[in-house]
């Protein structure tokens, strides 16, 4: 999938070294259950993503910044339920240099366009730590409808429980959400 700012490429083993360098900033993982700034954790998580792609339960991508040709993050489809025409977009992280630049919005536009217009998905789910206000606002900005908090949904590596705020965009909400995302991308381009 190719946008103006980024390309989303299928994750491959040869991406691991460069992707780990991008992921090594511990700040990126503060509100995520798994800290992939640690090499062993990164390798386990991303090898599992490749294995899960083989079973059809996930489809991981790397985010390639088109201008620099560097890997600046990762995202994926997971919780894929083909029979129910639904999936989740998540595991999204982008290096801090590219926060508030339109990169995340463009990634979501590419991913959701593929979901709703190619796969004919009826539901795309997104979730984040209930305390990740920045992420929650970003999801709502793209049209995500808040559905509630799943309490003590995951246990983080440090043993602390994480509650997750759930959002969704449905097929009949897609056109309005698409307009919001495109407007947001335009606004960020004007600012930069």
Entry pTM = 0.93
> Span 8-18, mean pLDDT?
98
Measured distance between the N- and C-terminal CA atoms of the chain, rounded to whole angstroms? 23
Q: What is the pLDDT of residues 18-62, one digit of tens each?
A: 999 999 999 999 888 889 999 999 999 999 999 999 999 999 999
Structure tokens at 116: 């709703």
Q: What is the pLDDT of residues 59-113, one digit of tens each?
A: 999 999 999 999 999 999 999 999 999 999 999 999 999 988 889 999 999 999 9
In DSSP notation, 57-68 reads SEEEEEEEETTT
Residue % of the chain over a pLDDT of 70: 98
CA distance 95 to 173: 30
- Short-list 114, 113, 166, 120, CA closest to 139: 166
3-state class (DSSP) for residue 129: strand
Give residue limits of the domains in the chain.
6-191
6-191 — its CATH code?
3.40.630.30
pLDDT at residue 192 above 60?
no
Structure tokens at 184: 């947001």
**Residues sharing a CB contact under 8 Å with residue 36, sequence separation 6 or more, in sequence order:** 20, 23, 28, 29, 42, 45, 46, 93
For residue 145, which phi and psi values (nearest 5 degrees)? -95, 125
The number of helices, as runs of H, and strands, as runs of E, in the chain is 5, 7
For residue 122, which phi and psi values (nearest 5 degrees)? -100, -20
* Residue count of the chain: 192
Arithmetic mean of pLDDT over the chain: 94
- Short-list 91, 81, 190, CA closest to 135: 91
Question: For residue 23, what pLDDT is reported?
Answer: 97
| Distance from the Cα of residue 124 to its chain's centroid | 12
Answer whether 109's CB lies under 8 Å from 189's CB: no
């Amino acid at each position: 999938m190719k946008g103006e700012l980024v390309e989303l490429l299928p994750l491959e083993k040869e991406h691991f070294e460069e992707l780990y360098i991008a992921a090594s900033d511990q700040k990126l993982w503060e509100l995520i259950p798994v800290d992939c700034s640690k090499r062993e954790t990164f390798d386990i998580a991303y090898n599992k993503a490749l294995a899960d792609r083989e079973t059809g339960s996930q489809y991981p991508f790397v985010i390639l910044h088109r201008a620099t040709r560097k890997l600046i993050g990762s995202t994926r489809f997971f919780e894929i339920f083909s029979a129910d025409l639904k999936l989740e977009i998540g595991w999204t992280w982008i290096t801090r240099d590219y926060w508030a630049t339109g990169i995340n919005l463009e990634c979501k536009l590419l991913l959701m366009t593929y979901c709703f217009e190619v796969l004919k998905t009826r539901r795309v789910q997104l979730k984040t730590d209930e305390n990740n206000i920045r992420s929650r606002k970003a999801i709502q900005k793209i049209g995500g409808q808040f559905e509630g908090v799943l309490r003590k949904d995951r246990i983080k590596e440090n043993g602390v429980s994480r509650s997750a705020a759930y959002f969704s965009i449905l097929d009949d909400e897609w056109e309005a959400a698409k307009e919001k995302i495109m407007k947001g991308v335009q606004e960020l381009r004007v600012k930069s």
